[in-house]
A and B are shown apart, each in its own frame.
Chain A
Amino acid sequence: MTRLLPLALLVVLALLPLGLKDPYLLNALITTGIFTIGAMSLNLLLGYTGQLSLGHIAFFGIGAYVSALTSLGFDVGLPFGLRVTHEGWPPAAGFLLAVLIAGLCGYVVGRLSFRVRGAYFVIVTISFAEVVRLVALNWIELTQGPLALTSIPFMTLGLPGLGEMTFRTKIQNYYLVLGVATLSYLLIARLVGSRFGRAMRGLKENEPLALSVGVDATRTLTIAATVSAAMAGAAGSLYAHYIRIIDPDVFLFSYTVTMVIMVVAGGKGTLVGPVIGGLIFGLLPVALRPVMAPEAQWIVYGATLIVILFVMPRGIAPALAALGLPKRAPAAPKPEPARASS
C-alpha cells in the first residue's frame, strides 16, 4: 500500500496529459504541482520534526526572486558606494541559485530560530516572512518593489546530447514540475528513511530522550530546515518561470496557509500526505468555481477543511493507511501527546 500508492499516483499523473487536453486544467495542475512541492518541503519540517513554520512562503518567494533576477539581470547600488551589475544568465542557473540561496537562508533562519520551540518558533517564522516581504516591497532598485518583475524568461535546460530545451508549452512545464516533484519526493523519502530521519522523529516525539541518546538537536533541525528551504526555493523558481511575473504578492500569507492546509489535511509526517492534500486543496477551488458564488466557494473551502480534520484528525493519508491495514504496522506514527511543545 505505502509503496504502491505513490507509484500508482505517479503513473496516473504522468499519463494524465495524454488524455487531458484542456489547458485550463493543465494550468491548474501545474500551479497545484508547484505548491505541492512547497507543501512537501514544509512537511519535512512540520511533519517530521514537528516544528511549524508559518513563514515557509519566504523561501518560496526568495527562490522566485533569485531565479527571476538571475535570469533578468539587475544593477543595484549597495552601501559604501559599491555597485553590483549583473547581466542575465540562463534560467537553469537561476534555478540552481534559487535552490542554493533559499537553502542558505533556511540554514541561517534555522540556526537562529531553533533556539526557540513551539508557538515561539511559529511567530519567528511569520516575522521572518513579513520582513522579507517588506524588503521585496521597499528595495525598489533591486526588486522593482510593487512595480513587479515582468517578462521573466521561460525555463531553459541544456541537456547533453539533446541541445537546449525551452519549457514554453503547458505540457513541457507539466512534466518539468512533475519531474522536480518526483525528485523532491524521492529525496525526502531517502532522508526520512535514514539515520537522520530517525533523529528527526526522535526529536519530535521525545526531545529529552533523543538528546540523551546523543542526537544533536540544533544540528538535526538546521539540516532539515536547510533542505526544506532549498526545496521551497526550487518550487519558487518554477513558479517564477511559469507565471513569468512576480511581485511582493508572492509572499502572501495565504500561500503559506494553503501549504499548511495541504500538509496537515493530507497527513503530516507521511510521504504521500502532502501530495494527496496538495491535489485535493489545489483542485478543490477549480471544482467549486463553476458551481457557486465566489464567497460561497471560500465558505465551502473552509468548511471542507474543518470536516476533513474532524473526521480524520491526523489527515487523509494516515486514515487511508488505517483503512488499508487494519493491523497497524509498528512503524506507524504514535498518537501525539495531548500537549505538544509550548
Chain B
Amino acid sequence: MSTTTRLASLAALTLALMAGPAVAADTIKIGVNEPLTGAFAASGTYVVNGAKIAADEINAKGGVLGKKIELVIEDNKSNPTEAAAVAEKLITSDKTPVLMGAWGSSLTLAVMPKLEEYEVPMLVETSSSGKITTSGNPFVFRISPPSALEAASFAPMVKKIGLKKVDFLVINNDWGRGAAGDFAKMLKAEGVEVGLTETMDQAAQDMSAQLSKLKSSDADTIMMTTSVDQLTLLFKQMAALGIKKRVITTGGSQNPDQIIAQAGAAAEGTMHLTTFLPWAPEKTPDPAATKYFLAEWKARGHQFAGATESFRGYDGIRSIAAAIEKAGSAEPAAITKAFWDVKMTGLNGPIAFAKSGPEGKESGQSKPTVYLIKIADGAVSEVAL
C-alpha cells in the first residue's frame, strides 16, 4: 500500500519538476554517493564527514554563485548495483548537476555508465583503478592517484632507501592487484628484483599463512596495499611471527595514528606512502587550510585517525565548488567543461586535471603529491630523502 502511495507521490513530484525550471532552486545541489553501510562503511562515513566540513565552510563564506551548496548524501551500501541506483536517483530525482563518489573502484565503475547516459560529471575522490580514467568516460574527474601515478612518484626514492628485492602482500581487489602490478613494473625498471605476490581476501583477519610464506623468502622488503584495519592486523601478526623486514605500504588510506594506537610496537619502523600529512600541517601545500580542516575535524568530535581518509571528501567538494564557480552556472555541461580549468591548492597538493584515456573522450586526472612517512618511537615523521 505505502509503496503505491510513494510511487504516486514521487510520480507527481517528477511531473511537477518536469513542468519546467520554474521551481527556482535557491541552493546548488551536489550529489554524494558513498558507502555508509556494509563492508566499507567506516571509510565512506569519513569521506562524507570531510565533505560536510567543506560544504559548511563554503556556505559560511557566502556559497557559490551567490547560492548555498547543499549536499545530497546517499548510501550505496558497498554494493555496485546500489551505487548505480543511487547515481540514478541523485541525477534524476534530486537533479544534482554534479556528483562525488563512489569510494571503491567497483562502485565507481558501476556509476560511470550513468554519467554517460545523463552527461553529468562526477568527481572521483578515492578509487585507484586505472580503468576509471582510461576507459573513455569524459565525465570523470579524479583527485586520488591511480597506483601507476603513485608508483611513478615513488620511483626516485627507491634507490635512496636501498631496496634490493621486494615481495608484495595485497588485498585481492582492483586496488591491491593494481598496486602490485604497477609497483612491480616500476621497481623492475629501477633495477629492483621482484619476488612473490601474495593476496588476501578483503574480509580476511588471519594472514599468518601468507606472512609465514613471506617470512622465508629472501626479499628484504614487503610492500603492502590494503585498508588500515588489515594493515593493523598484518603488523600485529608479523610481530607474532617474528618477521623483521622493511615494510612499505601504499594506497594512502593508512591512518598511521590508528595503526600506532592499535598495533603499538608492532608498527615501529614501518614506512607508508601517503598523500596527506595531517601530523605536520606546516609541511602541507596549504598549511592554513590544513589547520582549519583539522581543527574543524576535531571540533566535530571525529577521530583524528580518520583525517587521512576524510580530507579527500573535503578536497572533493572544494574542487567541485571551484568548478561550479568557474562554470558560472550549475548546469552539468558547463561544470564538466569548467573542471578542466580548475586550478587550486588542495590539502595534498595542486588540483588540476590532466587529460587521460582515449582521445576525444578523455577523463580528468589530478596529480597529488606523494610523501613517504615512517613510524618511529610511536610517532610519525616524514622520511627526508
> Using a CB–CB distance below 8 Å, which chain A residues touch chain B?
19-25, 27-28, 31, 137-138, 140, 145-148, 150-151, 243-245, 247, 249-250, 252, 254, 279-280, 283-287, 289, 294-295, 297-298
Contact = CB atoms under 8 A, between A and B. Distances in A.
Contact of B177 (A21, A140, A295): A140
Interface in B298-316: none
10 contacts: A21-B15, A27-B88, A31-B81, A140-B177, A145-B177, A146-B177, A147-B131, A245-B110, A294-B37, A298-B37
A289 B74 CA distance: 8
Given A21-B15, A22-B14, A295 B173 contact: no
Contacts of B129: 147-148
Given A146-B172, A147-B174, A249-B79, A28 B135 contact: no
Given A24-B89, A245-B112, A147 B178 contact: yes
Contact of A148 (B14, B74, B82, B105): B105
Nearest to B82: A285
Contact of A22 (B3, B11, B112): B11
Interface in B75-109: 75, 77, 79-82, 84-85, 88-89, 92-93, 105-106, 109
B109 A245 contact: yes
Interface of B: 2-3, 6-7, 10-11, 14-15, 18, 36-37, 74-75, 77, 79-82, 84-85, 88-89, 92-93, 105-106, 109-110, 112-113, 129, 131, 135, 172-178, 199
A138 B177 CA distance: 10
Given A21-B15, A31-B81, A147-B178, 15 more contacts: A24-B89, A25-B7, A140-B177, A148-B105, A148-B131, A150-B131, A150-B135, A151-B135, A244-B113, A245-B112, A247-B80, A249-B79, A249-B80, A284-B3, A295-B36
A148 B36 CA distance: 22
Contacts of B105: 148
Given A245-B80, A245-B110, A252-B79, A137 B172 contact: yes
Contact of B36 (A249, A252, A284, A294): A294
B7 to A, nearest CB: 7
A295 B131 CA distance: 31
